[in-house]
C-alpha cells in the first residue's frame, strides 16, 4: 500500500517537473501529489514563487486577503501585528504573514 502511494507520488513529482520545464501550470498535479502523500505525515512547503510558477497566478490570490487586510491586522490587544513593515513593501508584508 505504502509502496504504491510512494510510486504514485514520484510519478506526480516527475509530471510536475515536466510541466514546469515546459512553462505550463501544474496546479492539478500538485493537488494530486498532496493527496497521495496526505497520510504519510510528511511536511513540505512551497514558496510564494513556486506557487506562482506552478499555478500561473499571483500568490496573493491564494491567501484570500488583500494587502490592506494583512497590513492592518491587529492582535487581541488591538496593536498592529506587522509593525515596522512599510505598506509599499509587499514582499516583506507577505513574508512576515507566512513566517
- In the prediction, which pLDDT does 10 show? 83
Is residue 14 located within the same domain as residue 31? yes
Residue 22 reports pLDDT greater than 60: yes
3-state secondary structure of 24: coil
Q: Which tens digits make up the pLDDT trace of 64-89?
A: 777 788 778 888 898 888 787 877 77
| Structural domain that includes position 69 | 65-98
Model confidence pTM above 0.85: no
pLDDT at 44 over 80: no
The count of domains in the chain is 2
Predicted confidence band of residue 9 (pLDDT cuts 50, 70, 90): confident
Residue 41's pLDDT band (boundaries 50, 70, 90)?
Answer: low
The answer on 69 and 55 residing in a single domain is: no
Please report, rounded to a whole number, the percentage of residues in the chain having pLDDT higher than 90: 0
Looking at residue 87, its pLDDT comes to 74
47 and 72 inside one domain: no
Q: Closest Cα to residue 16, out of 40, 33, 41?
A: 33
**21 and 38 together in one domain:** yes
| One-character DSSP codes across 43-97 | -----HHHHHHHHSS-THHHHT--HHHHHT-B-TTS-BSSTT--TT-HHHHHHHH
Amino acid at each position: 500500500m505504502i509502496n504504491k502511494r510512494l510510486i504514485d507520488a514520484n510519478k506526480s513529482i516527475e509530471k510536475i517537473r515536466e510541466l514546469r520545464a515546459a512553462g505550463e501550470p501544474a496546479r492539478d498535479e500538485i493537488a494530486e501529489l498532496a493527496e497521495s502523500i496526505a497520510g504519510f505525515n510528511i511536511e513540505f512547503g512551497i514558496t510564494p514563487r513556486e506557487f506562482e510558477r506552478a499555478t500561473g497566478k499571483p500568490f496573493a490570490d491564494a491567501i484570500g486577503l488583500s494587502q490592506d487586510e494583512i497590513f492592518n491586522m491587529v492582535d487581541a490587544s488591538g496593536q498592529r501585528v506587522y509593525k515596522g513593515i512599510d505598506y509599499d513593501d509587499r514582499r516583506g508584508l507577505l513574508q512576515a504573514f507566512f513566517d
